[in-house]
Structure 1
């Protein structure tokens, strides 16, 4: 993995209050037992300092799978072809800006599905953070206040994160701030998915709403990330969970209907975005803003 050295990251750090002269540069509120710096204003965050202590630190249990269970999970939740293609497009555009681009991964505690190319490219320098300790990150932080100097990164990846923040518009403003001029963002966010990660799940976006969220970015590409077939698998899972009060029942039902995801290949994109499991946005930092009226004309669905 092309994760940069932690000492390199130290020179990029700026605790958000430093921009208003409230606190000094590089101030941390706590330090985790494995030495990871923690940049969180606990008084104004859903993150609790007690959740960052101990061997299994974190707000949510994150399960790992192996053997046949891992293969079955991949059957019902495969890596999306669109994500792999978008990741390749993101990397190509990054290298047009900088042959050795510096990229920030928000929510990088685990490597996102379809993002292997980003982590395997030796020319890319990655900085990553999450709200829980992990060997894949440089520090713990709340994305509402990214502790990095402005105009720092060539690219930012925020995959399956914006549904878990209380104020996604604030997080996107922070992404805009830490990107260099013409810098790139790649985002994937749920549209029609049931609640996951329990109390830490807050928001969903249509394709139009997602575009407006990134209104200070020029769109390179956007669309569905998992179509109506994938969305049906989510619904079947949660239907059977509820009927039998069992997560295992939902998983078995999902396995029985895994083939529904293949129907996504038969659905035109304009119909897919109206009933998608999730949406994506690949964009470039811009100086102008998409207006409220422009977003209506920008609708890309079939209705």
Structure 2
């Protein structure tokens, strides 16, 4: 287990982008770019990319709904020809897709499109919930594990994988590694299984429910925090 933070991992991601592009102008796509009140704990990727690469960076934000930070109203699950017509034929050096896949009706199609939008050697940063309350925006369909994302993004070499939380103001993350690389084998599951789950006895369970501001149904004595899985992958040639 390696302690880290999402902020630190984002810095490492941008370092990788800088290394991969050399002196070229980076082309960056953010999927699900619209700013909303619920995103108060989310990073402003356009600002981060601008600070790192300056005015030479070419940033495009897409979303299902028009709004702040959205350059194109576009569905990442659209047919590839529609994406190409809207975004142009030039591939991207970085595609950012945070907290979007759980809201898509076809996450596998979205994954294929993200891969196809990357240049060979281009990077993708994908963040999805493993444990989070239902949040319909416009709807909520899926939850993903690190290994599940690895199966979906078959054209990506997974360079980094880490877990992060969802509390405002708390930037703590953890990587599970073996020999300095993400441990994506089944043996790593034995480590991960007991990391975040809390199992309470009956009386402790009732005490927690009694302290809630609104009524909760006692359907379980097992609790999981809000937990996100994050992967950084590089498109294979």
**TM-score normalised per structure 1:** 0.51
Tell me the distance in 1 between the aligned counterparts of 2:216 and 2:132.
Answer: 20
How many pairs are equivalent? 175
Say yes or no: does 1:117 pair with 2:48.
yes
Q: Is the 8 A contact 2:130 2:227 kept in 1?
A: yes
**Partner of residue 127 from structure 2, selected from 188, 195, 198:** 188
Q: CA deviation at 1:190?
A: 0.3
Matched residue, 1:283: 233
Tell me the distance in 2 between the aligned counterparts of 1:91 and 1:178.
Answer: 18
Comparing both structures, which one devotes a greater share of its residues to helix?
1
Q: Is the 8 A contact 1:184 1:285 kept in 2?
A: yes
Q: CA deviation at 1:150?
A: 4.8
Comparing both structures, which one devotes a greater share of its residues to strand?
2
Matched residue, 1:167: 106
Change (3 A) 1:150 1:168: farther
Change (3 A) 1:168 1:159: same
Change (3 A) 1:88 1:144: same
**Partner of residue 211 from structure 1, selected from 150, 161, 171:** 150
Tell me the distance in 2 between the aligned counterparts of 1:284 and 1:229.
Answer: 28
Task: Give the superposed CA RMSD.
Answer: 3.2
**Residues 194-233 of structure 1: pairs in structure 2 closer than 5 A:** 194-197=133-136, 200-226=139-165
Tell me the distance in 2 between the aligned counterparts of 1:101 and 1:198.
Answer: 30
Q: Is the 8 A contact 1:149 1:178 kept in 2?
A: no
Tell me the distance in 1 between the aligned counterparts of 2:134 and 2:229.
Answer: 16
What runs of 5+ residues in structure 2 fail to find an aligned partner? 166-172, 174-194, 200-207, 218-223
Q: CA deviation at 1:197?
A: 2.2
What runs of 5+ residues in structure 1 fail to find an aligned partner? 1-80, 246-273, 288-303
**TM-score normalised per structure 2:** 0.64
Change (3 A) 1:241 1:174: farther
Q: CA deviation at 1:285?
A: 0.4
Matched residue, 1:104: 29
Tell me the distance in 2 between the aligned counterparts of 1:163 and 1:208.
Answer: 15
Q: Helix, strand or coil: the match of 2:131?
A: coil
Say yes or no: does 1:128 pair with 2:61.
yes
Matched residue, 1:268: none
Change (3 A) 1:197 1:275: closer
